[in-house]
Amino acid sequence: MSDKIAHVTAATFDAEVLKSKILTLVDFWASWCGPCRMIAPILDQLAEQYAGRVKLCKVNVDEESDLAERYRVMSIPTIVLFRGGEVLQTSIGVKSKKVFADWIDSNLE
């Protein structure tokens, strides 16, 4: 996994995500989730591609069920884009790198 992706917990979520000065993509995932494992390399590539412009974070829903509940995560992987502490958009399931990149690009200021 890329060292450019932060593992976020309930204790660090506000500082890492809600108070982030840049667009932040949060991957709600679990280790047992096949589709989550499928998009992990894509997210690693996106973290490299958007370094300094977009922050990528992961939340393990098994360990951080309160955060999953707070953002109404019912299926994983759920990817949520945040800016200024607000949810911009949510995507559920596996998508191609191009789809994620287009999604990010359309939300960059």
Q: Hey, which residues are catalytic here?
A: 33, 36
Size (the chain), residues:
109
One-letter identity of residue 71: Y
Ramachandran angles phi, psi of 46, nearest 5°: -65, -35
CA contacts within 13 A on the Cβ side of 23 = 21
